Structure 1
Amino acid sequence: MNTKKHMMLLATVAAAVLVVGMISVASLNGASFAYADKEQMQHPGSSMTMTAAPSSPAKGAALGTISSIQNDEKGQPAWIAAGGWKLFLMPSESKNNSTTSAAPDAKFSARFIMTKLDGTSKHEHAISDFVLTNMSDDGNTTTLTGNATMTMKDAPQKNIPMTIKIMNHNIISIMLDPHVNSHLGNTPLYGTVLRANNGYHTMAHMGENKTMMSDNSNSSDKDKEKSSAKEEGRATTIDIVSGAANKGDKSFSPNPVAIKAGTEVTWKNADSALHTVTSGKNSTPDNVFDSSILVPKKDFTFKFNSAGTYDYFCQLHPTMIGEVTVT
């Protein structure tokens, strides 16, 4: 088991090095991104330059690599995915041309190669025609949900539900709904953010500002709710322990946990490795909750409002499992 995990880690590192070193592949080479703030950015290791065009409505943009290992139908690592992605954020076409509180519109595309771990079955995919339906930001993670098209062997598949999460402006996860398209397995495509202009950083937080204004309008009710939760003790903390990747059901402490409905559970990454807290069983997410990537010392909170038994695991280390029982 340890040998297999070491091979997985080595494969991930190798894929990352390959993508960063050869990002000038046709999927990104020659692309020109337009910025309203007239920034010019040179992609490391490639000839790709993003230059301003005053006529373009784009205000913010970011790009990066895809470097990921995807599972097969049994939840076992089977494919390496490597390529690149790019994201444009543009002012929302809201009433009175006011975009102060409105989340921006977004255009996202990606192109990547998939290859089996033994080097066979190499093929390419492209994601395009992304239509944004919702955008939010909690200060650490920018989340974009919508629908997109992905090229497949026979024909492109359209209207695939997709969630994009950008964590701390450094890591990206791209999750296609496995119930609609299972080709990528039950784990997201992961990658890195290599470059982003100032406009991106500003507009990525518009979702946060919008949420904050909504929160302020109901601050009194929310303060009362938080106070009530603390008074009734409706909160608990679970640590992701040191060396969790090799500890199975001992990876989370305490585990299992029994709580009352309405309790907020916070998972804290006390390990030195990256992890996720993802609801589901047998390495298959059930979409109840998902922390995305938790870097060391980061945490994730979820409120359990309904009774039941909730299994969860780490998508990066599927043998890490936990359970929360709500009554």
Structure 2
Amino acid sequence: MQILKTLLFVTLLISSFTVVEYVKNFAIAIPPDLLNHKHVFGPLIGVTKNDTGDIDWVIAGTWRSILTNDTNDNTTQNNQSSGAFKAAIEMIRPDGTSRHSHTLTDFVVMNSTQNADNNSTIFNGTSTISLHEGPAVDIPTSIQRSNNGNIYIVTIDPESVDYHFGKSPLIYGIVSNPQFMKASYLTR
């Protein structure tokens, strides 16, 4: 009986360590920017126009960012990973045809500047853009963030992606606001 109690105690002790290790590993797997609440996200919108001014493509999607307007923020300045800005971009013709998608990942901030004229911060860097032929890497990309943090404007170098997003692509990101989603007129 004593051997059975000892065996049961040892099994229980080992099981406790296993649970503690599982919880520790689970906590480590959560991205730090989710824990410190520095990320923002929201919908993307935009259009591309052809030479005659007609709309060629309607652009929609979602984005996520940890970029801040603080040009002294080491998180932004030294970010050499894909976490600074990511986007899923969907394109569709105005008649509803030719629907396809792209991703913008691996945005690396090379420099950032405050733009006093339009009250924003511009982050210049490179990103990877998924295209039909495969990923296009080191594409010059600028992300402009309004100082109030409500708008992000994504500009992808047109020539680097064979003008796939148009000659002067501007894709607008709107920061999601949980208070707006809880507004009473939306819940009626």
Relative contact order (C-alpha < 8 Å, sep 6+): which is higher?
A: 2
TM-score (norm 2): 0.63
1:189-208: CA deviation from partner (whole Å, max 9, x where unpaired): 11211159xxxxxxxxxxxx
Residue 65 of structure 1, CA deviation:
0.9
Residue in 1 that maps onto 2:164: 183
Residue 127 of structure 1 aligns with an amino acid whose one-letter code is L
Q: 1:111 aligns with which of 88, 100, 103?
A: 88
Q: 2:47 aligns with which of 57, 69, 81?
A: 69
Residue 173 of structure 2 aligns with an amino acid whose one-letter code is G
1:200-235: CA deviation from partner (whole Å, max 9, x where unpaired): xxxxxxxxxxxxxxxxxxxxxxxxxxxxxxxxxxxx
Identity %, equivalent residues: 28
Residue 180 of structure 1, CA deviation:
1.3
The 1-side partners of 2:38 and 2:112 are apart by 15
The two structures, once aligned, show a CA RMSD in angstroms of 2.7
The 2-side partners of 1:149 and 1:116 are apart by 23
TM-score (norm 1): 0.38
Residue 73 of structure 1, CA deviation:
5.2
Any runs of at least 4 consecutive aligned residues in structure 1 with deviations exceeding 2 A, and if so which? 32-35, 72-76, 99-106, 136-140
SS at match of 2:169: coil
1:121-167: CA deviation from partner (whole Å, max 9, x where unpaired): 00000000111101223462121110001110111111110000112
Residue 164 of structure 2 aligns with an amino acid whose one-letter code is H
The answer (yes or no) to whether the contact 1:70–1:189 under 8 Å persists in 2 is no
Residue 100 of structure 1, CA deviation:
9.8
The 1-side partners of 2:150 and 2:71 are apart by 25
SS at match of 2:153: strand
Residue 63 of structure 1, CA deviation:
0.9
Residue in 2 that maps onto 1:124: 101
The 2-side partners of 1:161 and 1:115 are apart by 24
The answer (yes or no) to whether the contact 1:103–1:135 under 8 Å persists in 2 is no
The answer (yes or no) to whether the contact 2:71–2:112 under 8 Å persists in 1 is no
| Structure 1 pair 33–154 and aligned structure 2 pair: CA distance change class (3 A) | same
The 2-side partners of 1:166 and 1:126 are apart by 19
Residue in 2 that maps onto 1:249: none
Residue 104 of structure 1 aligns with an amino acid whose one-letter code is T
The structure that is helix-richer by fraction is 2
**1:40-51 equivalent positions in 2, closer than 5 A:** 51=34
SS at match of 1:104: helix
Residue 61 of structure 1, CA deviation:
1.4
1:83 aligns with 2:64: no
1:237-267: CA deviation from partner (whole Å, max 9, x where unpaired): xxxxxxxxxxxxxxxxxxxxxxxxxxxxxxx
Residue 104 of structure 1, CA deviation:
3.3
Q: How many residues end up aligned between the 2 structures?
A: 137
The answer (yes or no) to whether the contact 2:126–2:138 under 8 Å persists in 1 is yes
The answer (yes or no) to whether the contact 2:143–2:152 under 8 Å persists in 1 is yes
SS at match of 1:156: strand
Residue 170 of structure 1 aligns with an amino acid whose one-letter code is N
Residue 143 of structure 1 aligns with an amino acid whose one-letter code is I
Residue in 1 that maps onto 2:9: none
| Structure 1 pair 177–34 and aligned structure 2 pair: CA distance change class (3 A) | same
SS at match of 1:60: coil
**1:205-220 equivalent positions in 2, closer than 5 A:** none
| Structure 1 pair 141–116 and aligned structure 2 pair: CA distance change class (3 A) | same
Residue in 2 that maps onto 1:142: 121
